[in-house]
Amino acid sequence: MDVEELKTRFVGEEFDSTEFEVKPADALAFARCCGETDPRYSDPRHPEYQAPPTFMTRFHGRRTMPEEFPEEYFQGSFDGGKTVIAHAPIPVGATLVGTSQIADVYRKTGRSGSMTFLVHRMEYRNQEGEPISTVDWKLIRKDEA
* CATH code: domain of residue 133: 3.10.129.10
Rounded CA-CA distance 132/89 in Å is 7
Does residue 17 lie in a domain region?
yes
- The string of DSSP letters for 23-75 reads -HHHHHHHHHHTT---HHHH-TTSTT--B-TTGGGG---S-SS-TTS-GGGGT
Does residue 29 lie in a domain region?
no
Does residue 30 lie in a domain region?
no
Does residue 43 lie in a domain region?
no
Instruction: List for the chain the helix, strand, coil content (%; round to 5).
Output: 20, 40, 35
Q: Tally the domains of the chain.
A: 1
Whole-model pTM?
Answer: 0.90
Does residue 128 lie in a domain region?
yes
Range of the domain at 97: 3-23+62-142
Per-residue confidence in pLDDT tens, the chain, 145 aa: 788 999 999 999 999 999 999 999 999 999 999 999 999 999 999 999 999 999 999 999 999 899 999 987 778 889 999 999 999 999 999 999 999 999 999 999 988 889 999 999 999 999 999 999 999 999 999 887 6
Does residue 9 lie in a domain region?
yes
